[in-house]
Amino acid sequence: MPKQATGLVLITLSLLNVFVTSAGLAVAKLTPERRLAPSPPSAAERVAVRTAVTRPPAGSGAPLPAAQALSRRIAPILTGSGTRIGAVVTDAATRRVLFAADADRPATPASTTKLVTSVAALDTLGPTHRITTRTVRGAGGGVVLVGGGDPTLTARPPRPSGQGDPGAGRPVHASLADLARRTAAALKAEGVRKVRVDHDVSAYQGPRTARGWKPNYLPDGEVAPVSALTIDEGRVAPGDPTESKRVADPPAAATKAFARMLTREGVQAEPGRAVTAPAGAAELGAVRSPTAAELVEHLMTRSDNDVAEAMARQVAIKLGRPGSFDEAARAVTEVLARLGVTGGVLVNDGSGLSTANRITPAALAVLVSVAASPERPHLRAAITGMPVAGFSGTLNAPRYTVPASRAGAGLVRAKTGTLAGVSTLAGIAHDADGRTLAFAFMAGDGTGPVDPGTLDRLAAAVASCGC
């Protein structure tokens, strides 16, 4: 091979080596720390996705992109989409608006509502908060199973301590079997061998479905009827990804399962009825959920509707309000106002299933900046829980694997939202100069088709901007 050709080959290989190393660092920076993500996203192990550009270290010291240059990248995508899209891009550190189109127009947020819920929950509860499910002595010597609002409480066989659910990115859940063992031990120590198990779901009030929920949500298994006492998110066949059906009465199902477990532990038990536990009743046993940070990371990555509804109710309860849809919405709005988001948010649930929710792109972008702020480390899980483009959660491949959006792979981190005729995306991107930008794109009004790929192209345009 001629010397000139040999030199070109060596230069090319050197550049490729720099590219691979830099891209790997970019993805590593966006990947949640192990302490907040007990299992790494399995998608990254199965699908090879290459980032398209190298990145300097992210930070506020990098130059701001020129607004006009950014507009030249984004505007053609918007005008060519055939759909009205509300859009905003801001500097995450200063909140300076770099691009806006219908940014103050309220739109149906779908699951980007979960960003609202997550930020409010982390700010109110703190990242180490856990939800407790317990048993107490009831009237007449019985047992009352008291729900605290943990939908991840599981009746599945316990996993070894410290082990998450492989491939699912889930933390270790509280175990109903553990609660049964502790309760049985306490009862047998008192000489009790036969009991009736009642249940207390008074932590939550009001209807089990929200305003704006479609009639098909429960039958299709999009979410379970919201209750303070639920096991395995009310799933009929937990662990079977092909079965989405939910039980009609989560508290009754949980109580029956608990009674069976107590019987296996040597205390004959039969399920009873709904009651309110006596004030000051002696506790027999308790189990606690994963931390609020772990639950938020999970609900953001997997867009888990049940956990989102639980976290919204926990905000209301923490603020001394009833645990209902209406009061959760009021409580979340109150917390956002305290954080500086004083308008642009109207919610009826915590998950975003409600078609009556309305949020502006501008409000979502502010929330992203608030959560990403180094001055508020307790909100970090709302960012680390966002799926990584092309790698995890609801942004897993095939998204960000096509040429039009591949520039955003590994460099965009965002919460998705999808309802019939609605597609939304809100999150962060590190541009080509290393500046952290916040964005929100909201397409569709529920009446016609929308293409999530258009939003991916917009986010990729932001990430690839070195302007």
- What is the per-residue pLDDT for 134? 98
- What is the per-residue pLDDT for 360? 98
- Count other Cβ atoms within 10 Å, centred on residue 8: 12
pLDDT tens column, 276-302: 999 999 999 999 999 999 999 999 999
Identified catalytic residue from 71, 111, 354, 405: 111
Distance of alpha carbon 333 from alpha carbon 307, whole angstroms:
19
Answer yes or no: is pLDDT of 223 > 70: yes
- What is the per-residue pLDDT for 55? 52
Distance of alpha carbon 257 from alpha carbon 373, whole angstroms:
44
Enumerate the β-bridge partners of residue 143.
137, 197
Verify whether residue 114 is a known catalytic residue: yes
- What is the per-residue pLDDT for 168? 47
Answer yes or no: is pLDDT of 46 > 50: no
Whole-structure pTM value? 0.86
**Region 110-130 average pLDDT:** 98
Please give the share of the chain, as a percent, with pLDDT higher than 90: 80
Identified catalytic residue from 118, 175, 227, 303: 303
Residue 455 and residue 127 in contact, taking contact as beta carbons nearer than 8 Å: no
Distance of alpha carbon 81 from alpha carbon 113, whole angstroms:
24
Identified catalytic residue from 71, 114, 118, 415: 114
Distance of alpha carbon 259 from alpha carbon 196, whole angstroms:
8
Burial tier of 16 (Cβ tally within 10 Å: 0-12, 13-18, 19+): exposed
Distance of alpha carbon 73 from alpha carbon 16, whole angstroms:
26
- What is the per-residue pLDDT for 19? 37
Enumerate the β-bridge partners of residue 412.
429
Say which range, 58-62, 101-105, 224-228, 412-416, has the weakest mean pLDDT: 58-62
Please give the share of the chain, as a percent, with pLDDT higher than 70: 84
- What is the per-residue pLDDT for 62? 82
State in Å, rounded, how far the first CA of the chain is from the last one. Answer: 40
**Region 187-193 average pLDDT:** 96
Distance of alpha carbon 77 from alpha carbon 408, whole angstroms:
15
Confidence of residue 108 (pLDDT cuts 50, 70, 90): very high
Amino acid identity at 304:
D
Confidence of residue 76 (pLDDT cuts 50, 70, 90): very high
**Region 372-377 average pLDDT:** 96
CA–CA–CA angle 200, 209, 85 (5° rounding) = 140
| Three-state DSSP class for residue 328 | helix
